[in-house]
Structure 1
């Protein structure tokens, strides 16, 4: 199988982020309590990802300082994820799947992986090395994608 270029991977990842962030705005209607809290948190992470994606794709001015700030914000936000998924919190309009609690260890590890990868992104951003930042952004996006694939309701 042919390997996709980094630029193509970033473009695809960016499209997924934009679609997810846009869909989230409409999906949050009626959410309450912990479901609303986690949807808001995930939306905030998505906005940060979208901001970084626009810079690595060249749609916005490349700003390593802004990337570092977004990555630090995501790292902090990621530490709150597990607390916002108490067992059985599946009230509509949640996008969470029961598989979260069936495979809690994996879900919790992905939250920790997100913290690790976003901290790496923040650290690499201080170098200003665009290629290294792009590569780490792709790694960060893989964590998001894996979690969404396994633990989030698929969009129509």
Structure 2
């Protein structure tokens, strides 16, 4: 299975868990769960296109990118005020203990989401199994694969995404989500 497949599977599982976890959520916790669910649904809508399983639709990519953008950056961090952890929230205490990193990942998602919208008209590579080695002129953009999972951000801005294959931009968005979930989200049992 390629990287997009693994990320998609992980996010699909997250969606299933999130649907269950919504039981009993109210207020800001429900708002943030709904935002995460909307982003997860956007990933689920794009993943088959990025794997070449369904026809590519640039408008669908722009719509999903708008969903990610609307829930990233300050919009995301505003949904995590101090004292809103604990059940039914899936947020770890690490959100508030390492707030600067959480903010950084939320801002990274905003940048990558805007970049995904810019890359929407670029043809996808269709996930060759080592997407990072085929993006940006054949150079590895992510460095070591573990860097993305550790939340280490490549130094790309939204303009650089304009030349990137759309599935590469999608992978960047997905890896940003995964990096945040790995550190700041409670795993389902």
Query: Do both proteins adopt the same fold according to a TM-score greater than 0.5, normalized to the shorter chain?
Result: yes
Residue 54 of structure 2 corresponds to 60
Residue 186 of structure 2 corresponds to 153
Residue 66 of structure 2 corresponds to 72
Is the 1:68–1:126 Cα contact (8 Å) retained in structure 2? no
Matched, 1:118 2:113: yes
Residue 96 of structure 1 corresponds to 91
Aligned-residue offset at 1:58: 2.8
Kindly provide the CA deviation profile for residues 23-47 of structure 1, in whole angstroms up to 9, marking residues without a partner as x: 1111110001111110001100111
Aligned-residue offset at 1:13: 1.0
Is the 1:10–1:138 Cα contact (8 Å) retained in structure 2? yes
Number of corresponding residues:
149
Residue 36 of structure 2 corresponds to 42
Compare 34-43 and 70-79 and name the one that shifted more. Answer: 70-79
Residue 143 of structure 1 corresponds to 176
CA RMSD after TM alignment: 1.3
Aligned-residue offset at 1:59: 3.3
Normalized per residue, the structure richer in helix is 1
Q: Extract unaligned runs of 5+ from structure 1.
A: 1-6
Q: Extract unaligned runs of 5+ from structure 2.
A: 126-164
- Which residue of the other structure, out of 76, 90, 100, is the alignment partner of 1:105? 100
- Which residue of the other structure, out of 10, 18, 30, is the alignment partner of 1:24? 18
2: CA distance, partners of 1:49 / 1:60: 14
